[in-house]
Structure formats: structure tokens, C-alpha cells
Chains A and B, each alone.
Chain A
Amino acid sequence: MNFIKSLILLLCITSNSSAQTSPFYKSYDWDTNPNYVIEASDKDMIALKEKVVTEFFFEDQNLTEYYLEHKVLWLNSDDRIEEYNKVYLPYASNASLVANKARVIKKTGEIIVLDASKILQAENEETGSKYNYFAFEGIEKGSIIEYYYVEKRRPKYQGARVDIESDYDKQFVEFDLYAPTNLLFNFKSFNLETAVVKDESSTEKLHWQFAVKDLQGIDREEQAPYTAAIGYLMYKLHKNTANNTIITSYNEVAQNLYAFYYPGYTEEENKLIEKFALIFISLE
């Protein structure tokens, strides 16, 4: 834990220059006049859009993360409606949701935006989790549900995963990562033909992006390694170029593990060892 704290401090000291811009989510919104096109209407559901945007951002000298998830799902069966008409958004007690919007777009084009007062809160002191949760109103077979939320949280940069494929078809999936100009991230895509690419046109922030179209749903077959078989991305903060420090590496992991498995002795323990050694020597 101390290691993480000192790391954050290290990142902060060397990164004042990037704190000028505003986080992306402030200008993010859904389309006010949505015009989603369903390409294969014989399916029981299709994700018309799934987007994850995460931004590592210096705020009050601290590195924080804004994590946005935006989903647009077309639901065409009773079963799928019942599966997706309720949304639970868990977040750690030291995190917060800074945006949370939900709406239903009916077949007729009528849009029902969920009133913020209908987003409910729950808490679990045992796990330290909080939940925002809500039920979509007005869903009929063939309706589209759309929601996005932004979680402000302690940054997760030592290896994070974003699932790209699920058990339903998706028309469009996007992932974006923004970081201050001194923080270089590494990416790897699994079971996917597309890779994450750097957006060289971005100047104020570093920006990496990923986008794919028309993904087939992956069946959840009994005893199949579903989680390993679906397409997903992983990323980590690799380097702080401001002080040329490697942030996440096997070297760091090894040091962490060593410290965990071989902690030093306390003063009291050292005294006892000394005492034991003296007895042992006197016996000899």
C-alpha cells in the first residue's frame, strides 16, 4: 500500500504541466437526437454501441481516474429485457459516480429519460461497496436502452482489463484511454484482430484508441473457459517520461511480492531472536 502511495506521489511531483486541461467526461454526452440503426433484427439483442473511456488525470496534485462506460442495447426478447432492465453500478466507498444517465428509446422514437431521483443508492459496509442502481422505464420488445456513467476512482494502472466481446452481438465497440503527456501506457489485445493505437494528433493529452465493428456474441458453453476465450484488452501504465521511471514491470512485481512474503522482523522479534541465540550459544 505504501508502495502505491509513494508511486502516486512520484507521479504527481513530476507532472504539474499536464494539469491544465479539463477531463474528457465534462464534455461527454449521449446523442440528443439518437438515430441508431439495427442491422440484424432477427436477434434477441444487439449492442448498438459499447464504449469505455478512461482518463488518468492530475487533480489537486493527485493522479485520479475517470472511468466512463456507455452502453446502447437493443432488446428484442422478454428474457433479454428481464436480464437488462435493471442496472447495478458498484463502486468502492472511496470512489464516486460523477455522472449517471439512463434512457429508453422506444420503437416509435419516443425517448424516456430516467429522472435522476429514480437512481437509487445502496451500501454494503462489509465489502466497502456502494451501488447506484436503477430500473429502465417503458421498455417494450424492440426498445433500446442507453446509459452511461462516470466513476471517479483511485487510478487502476498496474494492469486493468476491458472486455470487448460478450455473449451477445455488438455492432460497434470503442475504447479510449487518455493520460497526461508524461505517462506512457502499454496495451495488449487478446483474441482480437484489432490492436489499440495511439492517436498521434492529440497534443494536450496522450490518447490511445480502439474501435471494432460487428462482433459476434460468444456462447457461454458449459465448462468452457469463457472469460479467457472472449476478446479483451489489457493495459498498464508503463513509464513516467518526466523522470524516466518504469512504473509497472516484473521487476516491481517481484519486489512487491518479496516484501510481502519476506517481511523484516519487528524490533520485538529481533530481541527474541537475539535472546534465543544467546540461550543456544550458552547451551553449546
Chain B
Amino acid sequence: MKKYTFILSLFLAWSANSQDLKKYKKLYPNDDVIRLQQEIVLHIKLDNGTFSIKKDVFEEDLYLNNSANYNSKRSLNYATFFNLDTIEASSFSPQDDTYTENKVTNFNKKNNLNDSFYDDSKELSFIYPKLAKGSKTQLKLQYSIKNPRFLNAFFFGDFYPVIRNKVTIIADKDIELIFKPFHLKNAPKITFKKKKKGKNYEYTWSQLNSEKFDIEADAPSYRSILPHIIPIITSYKENNETKKLLNGVGGLYSWYYSLVENINKEDTDQALVALVAELTQGKTSDLEKVKALYYWTQKNIKYIAFEYALGGFIPREANDVFQKKYGDCKDNSSILYKMLEIAGLEGNLTWIGTRKIPYTYEEVPTPAVDNHMILSYEYNNKTYYLDATGRYIQIDYPSSFIQGKEALIANGKSYKIKKIPVIAANLNTITDSTYLKISGRDIIGSSQTKLSGYLKNNLFYNLENTRKEAAVKELYNKRFSKGSNKFLITSFTEENKFSYEEDFLVRYNFTIQDYVQNIGSEIFINPHINNSILGIKTKKDRKYAIEFDYKKQYSYTNTIEIPEGYTVSYIPTSVSLGTELLSVNLSYSKVNNTLVCQQDVVFNFINLSVAAQQKVNAIIEQTEKAFKEVIVLQKK
């Protein structure tokens, strides 16, 4: 109650001031909305070993221009472990020297069906009435956090300016808390105070005038950029005895283990046993067996997510997944675990945070560190990361979105942490061999393009729902585009389509109209018909790193037939550019009556810092210049 009195008085003082708009418009001329106040109070009570956690949130926003009403609709998400208990919302319309309050009375609930097929997340939405330039809004919320492992991060910066930001944690003195800071150097000074109040400790962080953070395409997740603090309850006292909670990775793992230790104890479905026998029959090595089981699971168990309460953490029984033929990442891992076990092999359940989550297990040993489960399999001292939620993933590749991340691998009551490798560029390749014939101003060509690794997988995903031949041709016109937008494939054949192990090969004939310049007795032709590399250049004023799905390598061999009666009068000089991040090699040579133009590009990164972007951009700029060079053929 005291807190609200404080907030109320603060609010009255602020709302009475109709100069706010003028003042903040001057300070933030380019912003639509600013947060005047944000206060979060987390109450963590402990009663005989039972936690009671409430989170009070207060937010006050000021709208600086006529786009205010675009913000009228607000939606809040909540779920079983994070229940929204109370809500009060109002907008305040400026009138003369004061504000008139418009209370929100209509709140609409809906089941959130967007993320998972079935989960407990709900959305509450409402409309702030009469929002206009100079309006303010106020929102008061109270949440119950039902599990002490799920304390959320507190942010000290956002995608809008925040004028006053305060976070208070009031926790029973018997609760041991630690606070993990991230990117606080990006934020204005944060004042921290800790004091004892009765049987509680009160921790307070306050901050003034945090500038807004920009949103940039393909930037790492907001958790990699915004300043924030993650509170973690490491232990607590119950009857004078210390009980561990999230005391390091061990604490997290022992909770995870308690959720999975009792699964797959029922009698195995005999049809599953028979299937495993059939799939592994004749396989000579354990790895071959695992491969057969892994590919079957990818092909046959469809991804449907059920995330209801603890169901979001506990894998379903393998029998159940087998009969339903669908499941989420945990269920896929569960059936694969069981299938390996039936085959006399051992896989291990493995927790992983995808690349959206930037923390290591040591940094944040809480459920906030991961969001995915796979199965690990050890063979000849190599770990294979089997993610059966996708399709076409070869056994040597992890799914692309977990590359470089830590894996928490179950090993009975203990665990191992391993780093998932980033797949090398030479395993994700486009190898293209093209023969070009000049016909007047047009090019008539034939190509064979071979794809491997993630590049192959992505094309397969696109091909899956491209059903008619004309649509497939259109897709290849885009994917294999050469020279100009007049590139048109006339016919094609495919080899190893939808193969897990073999490279995908497409052979095609094509034309590029009006590509060649004929002036007098000379023919000018630009041999750089593959220029997609130029697209990775980033803006000079970019603020954040940029992320890519995988490393990759392109190799294009373009062989141009010298027309009868012509000789080569100019070929560009070979170029070799590059750093360890990006290398570009262009070479040109005359072989009999042809010119062979070779282009090799290696993209050796999945993440480019701002400094790295500058280096890469410099190479791209040099490549742009090199790409302007043409071949000149002279009539004999």
C-alpha cells in the first residue's frame, strides 16, 4: 500500500504538469512515446519453505505526437507460472492545465494459439481510450510467480526512452539471492542500495534518463543488447536448514533431472520395438543404426508443441509419441532416446538455449538459459546433436539455430556441458558450373548447381510446398539467378531431391536476354553473373552486430565460349581479396576457345560485430569494383 501511495503522489505531481509534452518533445524530438516512469516491486516471501512471490508493475507513458492512437491497443501475456492477478489501466487526456482520466473497463482474454499448439499462455488485451498527442497512460499490474526458479530479468533500457526506472526486491532474509548483470555498460548509471527492513532485505536499483535502443534487422536478440539484471534464488533456509535451489548449474540440472528421471518407464510398445529392429537391420555400425533411427524420427514425427505448465518441461512417453506421430522437441528427444535404447545404444537428453538466448549455463543457471531439447549421442569421441524437430538434417550437422551454443547433456544424476560446433563453411556449399554461349545480345547457358549442408536443407524446405513444375522453375529462377532479371530457366532436371546424405544437384538450361553488348567489331560481356555476395554489405551507421544462419562457401565456374571469328582483346586481372572472415577470389583464364571465369567466396562467420562489418564492407566495396570489369572480344 505504501508503494502505491508513493506512486500516486508522484503521479499527481507529474500529471498536474502540462508542460511535460513541451519539455519532452524538445528532449526527444524523434520519439513517438516515452516512458515517464517504470517501477517494479518484487515481493519474495518464505513461509516454512513455501515461496510466495508477487510482482507489482507500474508504468506511465507519455505520447509525444499524433501517432499516439497507434498505441491504443495493449496486450499482456501470462501463463500458469506467471499469473496476472490484477490489472488497472487508464489513459489521461490533456485538458487545459491538467489531465482527465479515462479508465479502461473492458479487458478481453484469449487463449494464445500462436506459439504452441496447446499451451497455458493467455493474452489479455484492452484499448486505452482517447489517446492523442500529449496523452498519458498508466498501467498497474500484479503478477504471481508460481515457481521460485522463474524470476524474470529486469531491464534498464528499452526500445523507447525511459525517464525514471526503479526496481525493488523485497525478500525474506532467509532467501539467498544473486544478481547477474548484463550489458549494464550500455546504460546510464544505476544506483544500487541494499538495506535490512525487519525480517526482509530490500534491494533497490534506480536509474534516470535511459535513451532508447534502436531496432535493427538481423541484430542479435534483445537479450544481447539491452542492459538487464537477472535475479536468481540460490538457496533458502527452512527450519534453520539451508536448502539449495538454483545454486549453479548443478542446482538447475537436479531440477531438470527430477522432471525427466521417471519418463519412459512403462513397457515399450512392441510395434516400436519391431520398427527399431526393421530400421537397424543390416546396419553394420552403431552410427549407421543411429542415423537410420534419427532420419526416421525426422521424417515421421511431426512437430506439434504442447507447453501446458510443467508439460513445457517434461517429455512425453516414447510410446505415446510413437502412437500419435507428433510431438515437440522434448517428445522427439524422448522417442529417439527410447529407440536408441531398444537398439542397445545410449543417447542422452540434452537441454539447449537456441541462438536467441545469449547466456551460458554458468552465467544464468535458471530455466531462462534454455528453450530447446535434443538428444546427444557419443560415437568414437565425437558428439552428435540430434534434433529431430526438423527435416533433412544430416547426422553430422546440429540444427543451424543451435550452432555455437552450449549443450547441457544429461548423464544420469550428473551432467556435462559441451559446446556445439559451428559448421565450417566448406560443409555448406553451392558449387556451380556454367557454360555460356553468346548468341547476338543474348546468352544461352547450361548449368549444374550442387548444394550441400544447410543451403541444401533450406532449398528442400522451399521445395516441399512448391508443388507444380512451373512453380519449381520459378523458385529456381530466383535461387539460381544469374546476370540480370532476364535470367530464365527453360528446362531442368534434379538429382538427390530430398536426400538426407547426398548433395542436391540441379541441371538446367537457361537464357539471359540482352545481356551482351555488341559495339562495332567488339563484344562486351560481364562474366560476373553471380553477384549475390554484394547483398551482405551493411549500412555504415549500423549500431549492432548482425547474425547469419550459417557459414557458407560459393564456388562458381563460368565458362564462356568465344564466338567463331572473335579473339579475346581484354580479360580482367585476377583478384584475391579477403580476411579470415570473408574471402573473395576471382580469376580469369583462356582455355582453348573458352574463357574460364572462376569465383570463390567463403563466408566464414555467423555473427559480425560492428567492427567486423566494416572489414567485410571494405571487401565488398572492392568486389563491387572488380565486378564492373568486363571481357572484351574483338572480331578477327
Asked whether any CB of chain A lies closer than 8 Å to the CB of B324, the reply is: yes
A79 and B325 contact, CB distance less than 8 A: no
Could you tell me which residues of chain A, from 51 to 101, have a CB within 8 Å of some CB in chain B? 77-79, 81-82, 85-86, 88
Q: For the complex, give the distance between the alpha carbons of A135 and B316 in Å.
A: 16
Contacts of B304 in A (CB 8 A): 85-86, 135
Contacts of A88 in B (CB 8 A): 113
Q: For the complex, give the distance between the alpha carbons of A219 and B118 in Å.
A: 31
Number of A-B contacts (CB under 8 A): 56
A124 and B110 contact, CB distance less than 8 A: yes
A135 and B300 contact, CB distance less than 8 A: no
Closest to A126 in B: B108
Q: For the complex, give the distance between the alpha carbons of A82 and B464 in Å.
A: 11
B109 and A125 contact, CB distance less than 8 A: yes
Asked whether any CB of chain B lies closer than 8 Å to the CB of A176, the reply is: no
Asked whether any CB of chain B lies closer than 8 Å to the CB of A174, the reply is: no
Residue with the greatest number of chain A CB neighbours at <10 A, chosen from B109, B303, B326: B326
Asked whether any CB of chain A lies closer than 8 Å to the CB of B147, the reply is: no
Q: For this complex, into which size category does the number of interface residues on chain B fall?
A: 20 to 34
Give the Cβ gap from B112 to chain A, nearest Cβ, in Å.
9
Given known A77-B464, A85-B302, contact A137–B117 (CB-CB < 8 A): no
Q: Which of B113, B303, B468, B471 contacts A122 (CB 8 A)?
A: B113
B325 and A122 contact, CB distance less than 8 A: no
Give the Cβ gap from B252 to chain A, nearest Cβ, in Å.
31
B125 and A126 contact, CB distance less than 8 A: yes
Closest to A167 in B: B467
Given known A120-B118, A123-B109, A124-B111, contact A137–B325 (CB-CB < 8 A): yes
Given known A123-B110, A123-B111, A125-B108, contact A81–B302 (CB-CB < 8 A): yes
Residue with the greatest number of chain B CB neighbours at <10 A, chosen from A88, A123, A124: A124
B467 and A135 contact, CB distance less than 8 A: no
Against A, the Cβ 8 Å flags (1 = close, 0 = not) of B285-300 are 0000000000000011
B323 and A138 contact, CB distance less than 8 A: yes
Q: For the complex, give the distance between the alpha carbons of A112 and B324 in Å.
A: 9
Given known A120-B118, A123-B111, contact A139–B302 (CB-CB < 8 A): yes
Contacts of B125 in A (CB 8 A): 126
A137 and B324 contact, CB distance less than 8 A: yes
Give the Cβ gap from A226 to chain B, nearest Cβ, in Å.
14
Asked whether any CB of chain A lies closer than 8 Å to the CB of B391, the reply is: yes
Asked whether any CB of chain A lies closer than 8 Å to the CB of B465, the reply is: yes
Could you tell me which residues of chain B, from 443 to 500, have a CB within 8 Å of some CB in chain A? 464-465, 467-468, 471
A138 and B324 contact, CB distance less than 8 A: yes
Contacts of A124 in B (CB 8 A): 108, 110-111
Give the Cβ gap from B116 to chain A, nearest Cβ, in Å.
11
Asked whether any CB of chain B lies closer than 8 Å to the CB of A131, the reply is: yes
Q: For the complex, give the distance between the alpha carbons of A137 and B304 in Å.
A: 11
Q: For the complex, give the distance between the alpha carbons of A176 and B52 in Å.
A: 59
Contacts of A131 in B (CB 8 A): 111, 113
Q: For the complex, give the distance between the alpha carbons of A52 and B293 in Å.
A: 42
B391 and A138 contact, CB distance less than 8 A: no
Closest to B466 in A: A79
Against A, the Cβ 8 Å flags (1 = close, 0 = not) of B301-335 are 01110000000000000000001111000000000
Give the Cβ gap from A77 to chain B, nearest Cβ, in Å.
7
Q: For the complex, give the distance between the alpha carbons of A130 and B303 in Å.
A: 24
Give the Cβ gap from A191 to chain B, nearest Cβ, in Å.
20
Closest to A125 in B: B108
Q: For the complex, give the distance between the alpha carbons of A122 and B308 in Å.
A: 13
A-B contact pairs, 28 of them (CB 8 A): A44-B467, A78-B302, A79-B464, A82-B302, A82-B303, A85-B302, A85-B304, A86-B117, A86-B304, A88-B113, A112-B323, A122-B110, A122-B113, A123-B110, A124-B111, A125-B109, A126-B108, A131-B113, A135-B326, A137-B323, A137-B326, A138-B323, A138-B324, A138-B325, A139-B302, A139-B325, A140-B300, A219-B468
Interface residues of A (CB under 8 A from B): 44, 77-79, 81-82, 85-86, 88, 112, 120, 122-126, 131, 133, 135, 137-140, 219
